[in-house]
Amino acid sequence: MNSVLRELVELGSGLVTLGAATQVVPSWTLRQACRNGELVRVLPEVFVAAYLVGGRPDAPVLSRLDPATSQRAALAWAGGYGALSHLSALAVWGLRPEVVGDLVHLSAPASASLRTRPGVIVHRRRGLTIEAPQVVVRRGLTVTRLEQALVDSWPTMSSVDRQALVIRAVNDWLTTPERLSAALERVPKLIDRAAFRHLLTKLADGCRSPLEIWGLEHVFTGPGMPAFRRQVPVRVGRRMVYLDMFAERERVNIELDGATTHGSPGQREIDLRRDALLAAAGILVVRFGYRRLVHEIDDVRRETLAILATRRT
């Protein structure tokens, strides 16, 4: 490969565009590098070093790159008229694993000339501008805002995945139920929109896990159950702890232990110390695990009501 072109490719971490290359070398130099098998065209006017191309030979070349390179290549092809969106944006935001072979999703203004090509899906949107506040730069990549990416991706994911990603985004302080609700309002015809709105209502009420939502809707409801407050902050000594479901009058905190998050001996020890601190503050902690909450609903409800009745007397 021409030494000047090689240096340019190295500066681009293995990626170069026709526009950048022809500023320093003749266009035939680029064509020669492709004929020699040193560069591979992945999109119109976008090339990568051949050693970066792996995966299945029958897959689009873009899908045979590592995700970071395929995302950079798609943005280079878009030339400032597109931003990573949908599932690709969620990967950049750290909510989904990046997997070789994933299609790259780009959102572009309706007036842009970009069209879907092998390995990249272009979503054309009226009113979109590729600038703040509609897009941001994250990890050096132009990407739609997290709230928009979650709304856009909602119809494409399973019910379990979509709920888990929205909850994680809120729990990790990447967004809020209020900001997600505002983004949802801008898409009135979204598939399963009612389910999204219902989830956001539960998150706004303080639920922070699928198990909490399950418990609230199927177990800790009905005659005799108090209006539990969720994720109540309580200072114990120098620590601030958050109570899953707090019955304020009875001073009872119901903790819902997931199948994975509370199973280790280390986590169990942390839970016991936390429960002891709360007991010293006059708060009784009652824990229910995933199996009982899901398979012994009536028993859990009866036990909870009996405990609450005892605390009232």
79 has pLDDT over 90: yes
176 has pLDDT over 90: yes
Q: For residues 242-264, give the mean pLDDT.
A: 81
Q: For residues 217-241, give the mean pLDDT.
A: 89
pTM, full prediction:
0.84
Q: For residues 66-72, give the mean pLDDT.
A: 95
Beta bridge partners of 288: 256
262 has pLDDT over 60: no
Amino acid 61: pLDDT: 94
238 has pLDDT over 90: no
What is the CATH topology of the domain spanning 210-312? Endonuclease; Chain A (3.40.960)
Amino acid 80: pLDDT: 95
Report pLDDT digits (tens) over 112-126.
999 999 999 999 999
Domain residues of the chain, as ranges? 3-53, 62-144, 147-204, 210-312
207 has pLDDT over 90: no
Give the neighbor-by-neighbor strand order of the sheet with 229-236: 229-236, 239-247, 252-257, 284-289
Instruction: Report the alpha-carbon distance of residue 31 to residue 205 in Å, rounded.
Output: 60
313 has pLDDT over 80: no
Report pLDDT digits (tens) over 125-139.
999 999 999 999 999
Report helix, strand or coil for 193: helix
